[in-house]
Structure 1
Amino acid sequence: MQNCKLSGVKSASKIYRSLPRFDSDRPSAVTIGNFDGVHRGHQAILARVHALAAERGWAPTVMTFEPHPRAYFATRGQRPELIPTQISSLRDKIWSLAHHGIEQVALERFNQRLAEMSAETFIEQLLVRGLNTRWLLVGADFRYGHKRSGDIDLLRKMGAKHGFEVETIADVADENGHRISSSEVRTALAVGDLERAAHLLGHTYHISGHVIHGQKLGRSIGYPTLNLRVPPLCAARSGVYVVRAHGLAAHAIHGVASLGVRPTVSDSSQVLLEVHLLDCSLDAYGKLTRIEFLSYLRDEEKFPDLPTMIAAIDIDAQNARDYFALHGL
């Protein structure tokens, strides 16, 4: 057993949950979007914002929304089936934005007030007074304001009035000409296609979170686990995965994980990520870790009894060891 020393990670972006900013009047280079997953298409946008902001000495800024506007309207319309699954938690999204050079995140709560805000008020209150926007990058089909009444023409007109430039960007495609989008990432994760998801994301899929207390069943059957909460309506398919845990030691720790509702041992509908670390014993309660998903092994199952479940976990752990032996990670 390795006795692994704990370490941590943190984000560097400044988060504003209300506008105008309370501590700055610095001009901003801004882009707007939900940025779920911060995939390669998003990364191209962020690179442009960061480069332009660095060139002009402005603050590279993202305005994003919580919850997702589609989730808000689906809930209001009592159509829960239309709520999009979630690729990344808010923590992971903010971390990724910071990693790609974003210094400011305006986290706007999407509620009735915002949904009914006129397009002109959206520009004047949030972009001009809120962030002192001098340059804005959005998609060519970007719509905003009450009933999506605002368009690019209005942005350019208001930009001329208030002193900010507007630049549009086309959809980003991969090497094969396929559009990179959050919807594509969700589709890949829903079927357990981690290779496709990693291609779209530009990195392996991961979930981060603080280790929480569980039922302690794992330790009684020889498979102690680290338990993490996952994003609501997590986009990843429920099942068993080969994983690596980061942030708990000076090196990544090999593991096997179950993502799901634990039907054999619980009647709860809450999705949980349970990670068993291979050949490593540590007390990680309360610590922040990032779990990297490497390979999908099998679907989640409800077993008739504990011995049958333990036998399946034995096979899962061996399959994970075989994976690491083969890939030399």
Structure 2
Amino acid sequence: MQVFRGIPEHAAHTSVLTIGNFDGVHRGHQALLQMLTDTARALALPAVVLTFEPHPREYFAPADAPARLASLREKLLLLAASGVDRVYVCRFNARFAALTADQFIDDILVRGLGVRHLIIGDDFRFGARRQGDFSLLKARGASQDFVVEAMHTLDVAGERASSSAVREALADGDLAHAARLLGRPYSIAGRVIRGDQIGRKLGYPTANIQMKHRRPALSGVFAVSVEGLADTPVAGVANIGVRPSVTSAGKTTLEVHLFDWNRDCYDAHLRVHFLNKLRDEMKFGSLDALTAQISRDADQARAWFADNPIRS
């Protein structure tokens, strides 16, 4: 899959295109991407995604923006796995936000991306003050020779599959519900970095996954499986949160204690799959109390895996 930053002034080729943030690439997104790739193959054209960085809600109201389900890198990996040929990552800034709906169609879709067939969600809005909608695209497509097709909302057991619904499930600790909406267990990927070695001192060494500036969609202690270390996933227990028992910095960390693993994994790029929530994050009065709880967490996670073995 090819990834481009920004939109070209003039497209070199025509395309089958879809547009969206695709945060989490849930089952609704997957159905849309399947429709995109099927149409692209039928027309012998590239399947193209236009997405935005940052998320428009992060631009307009950063303090109120929702937690991201996936980093840009994770989103691109999921798009590639869905069969997308090209992704254009458009920087969402003041200039882009000021584009009228007609300018968006003329400058971005027609000239920049050479759209021949456009597939969008049925609630897609665009342009300054969200003035553009499906009806406008349909009318402009008829005059400028591109087809516009709407993908209707996908329901999962009677619920609309959406990024918001996934976030709500994760915030509630309902990982099974989130997995149904995603079509897979929720996961976070990142590089293992050096931490403060507190886990090692307590007898429970951890792999510290780099979170950068990300605000996670879930917190607490979880039974997890980890990819990227061996031919098969490794079971473990993870804490994602601000570690109130050991620091007051308020910085979010993701730490994973890997079961039956004693090799160095610094700089490895791991994917942590969250399978079962054990408890919320808590503050303990001493390191001894924290250590005792970590021991109970590990025992509880091992017991869960005994009843729910990892499928390789």
Same-fold status (TM-score > 0.5): yes
Task: Give the structure 2 partner of residue 16 of structure 1.
Answer: 4
Of residues 43, 60, 83, the one that matches 1:101 is 83
Task: Give the structure 2 partner of residue 229 of structure 1.
Answer: 210
Residues 205-224 of structure 1 aligned to structure 2 (within 5 Å): 205-224=186-205
Of residues 143, 147, 155, the one that matches 2:125 is 143
Of residues 258, 267, 270, the one that matches 1:286 is 267
Task: Give the structure 2 partner of residue 10 of structure 1.
Answer: none
- 1:328 & 1:84 partners in 2: Cα distance? 33
State whether structure 2 residue 95 is matched by structure 1 residue 116.
no
Moved over 6 A (4+): none
- 2:55 & 2:32 partners in 1: Cα distance? 19
- 1:303 & 1:270 partners in 2: Cα distance? 17
- Give the letter for the 2:21 counterpart: N
CA 195–117 in structure 1, closer or farther in 2 if over 3 Å, else same:
same
Give how far 1:21 is off. Answer: 7.7
- 1:27 & 1:194 partners in 2: Cα distance? 41
Calculate percent identity across the aligned residue pairs.
Answer: 46
Of residues 165, 171, 174, the one that matches 2:147 is 165
Give how far 1:232 is off. Answer: 2.1
Task: Give the structure 2 partner of residue 4 of structure 1.
Answer: none
- 1:144 & 1:162 partners in 2: Cα distance? 18
Q: Secondary structure at the match of 1:62?
A: strand
- 2:196 & 2:114 partners in 1: Cα distance? 50
Q: Which moved more, 1:39-48 or 1:149-158?
A: 149-158
CA 37–193 in structure 1, closer or farther in 2 if over 3 Å, else same:
same
Q: Secondary structure at the match of 1:296?
A: strand
- 2:65 & 2:185 partners in 1: Cα distance? 24
TM-score (norm 1): 0.90
State whether structure 2 residue 42 is matched by structure 1 residue 60.
no
Q: Secondary structure at the match of 2:267?
A: coil
- 1:125 & 1:292 partners in 2: Cα distance? 40
- 2:236 & 2:185 partners in 1: Cα distance? 15
Give how far 1:159 is off. Answer: 1.9
Task: Give the structure 2 partner of residue 152 of structure 1.
Answer: 134
Task: Give the structure 1 partner of residue 181 of structure 2.
Answer: 200
> Could you tell me whether the CA contact under 8 Å between 1:197 and 1:204 is conserved in 2?
yes
Alignment root-mean-square deviation, CA: 1.5
Of residues 267, 273, 279, the one that matches 1:298 is 279
Q: For this pair of structures, how many residues does the alignment match?
A: 309
- 1:321 & 1:154 partners in 2: Cα distance? 56
Unaligned runs of at least 5 residues, structure 2 = none
- 2:134 & 2:305 partners in 1: Cα distance? 50
Task: Give the structure 2 partner of residue 28 of structure 1.
Answer: 15
- Give the letter for the 2:17 counterpart: V
Give how far 1:27 is off. Answer: 2.0
- 1:40-90: CA deviation from partner (whole Å, max 9, x where unpaired): 111000000010001111111111111211221113xxxx2x311211111
Give how far 1:153 is off. Answer: 2.5
Task: Give the structure 2 partner of residue 260 of structure 1.
Answer: 241
Q: Secondary structure at the match of 1:134?
A: strand
CA 51–21 in structure 1, closer or farther in 2 if over 3 Å, else same:
farther
- Give the letter for the 1:53 counterpart: A
Task: Give the structure 2 partner of residue 6 of structure 1.
Answer: none
- 2:166 & 2:21 partners in 1: Cα distance? 14
Of residues 73, 80, 95, the one that matches 2:60 is 73
- 1:130-164: CA deviation from partner (whole Å, max 9, x where unpaired): 21111101123321111111122221232233321
Q: Which moved more, 1:224-233 or 1:317-326?
A: 224-233
Q: Secondary structure at the match of 1:281?
A: coil
- 1:140 & 1:204 partners in 2: Cα distance? 26
Of residues 17, 29, 33, the one that matches 1:42 is 29
- 1:103 & 1:247 partners in 2: Cα distance? 25
> Could you tell me whether the CA contact under 8 Å between 1:229 and 1:271 is conserved in 2?
no
